[in-house]
Structure 1
Amino acid sequence: DESDRDGIRVVIELKRDTNHQDVLRQLYHQTALQTNFGAILLALVDGQPRQLSLRQLL
């Protein structure tokens, strides 16, 4: 844990022969390190509701 007042930083040091992809997969599966959710991006365009892409919305 290398956290400071600017944010959280967690460092995981692995042994040489450790598969880092397996470690990441386990972290994603067993923790809230990555969270996915669906969203419908609705906005009023010229007074009419439209579903937009994230790029269009920004």
Structure 2
Amino acid sequence: MMNQETSRKLTEMKMGAMAELYQQQGQNKDYRAMDFDDRFNLLVDYGYDCRKSNGGH
């Protein structure tokens, strides 16, 4: 279940890419089978890759 407040806070902290993937994870049942560490790693990797590809923004 996606927490809207968590998504809002991620966006406010300039972590929009992570908020986007967090929302996608909440809507996709395939993510529910994954454990916390795997899902969290995906969020961090996605956020990191987006920042690197945008020149650090």
| TM-score (norm. length: structure 2) | 0.29
Q: Which has the higher strand share?
A: 1
Higher RCO (CA < 8 A, seq sep 6+): 2
Higher helix fraction: Structure 1 or Structure 2?
A: 2
Bigger Rg, structure 1 or 2: 1
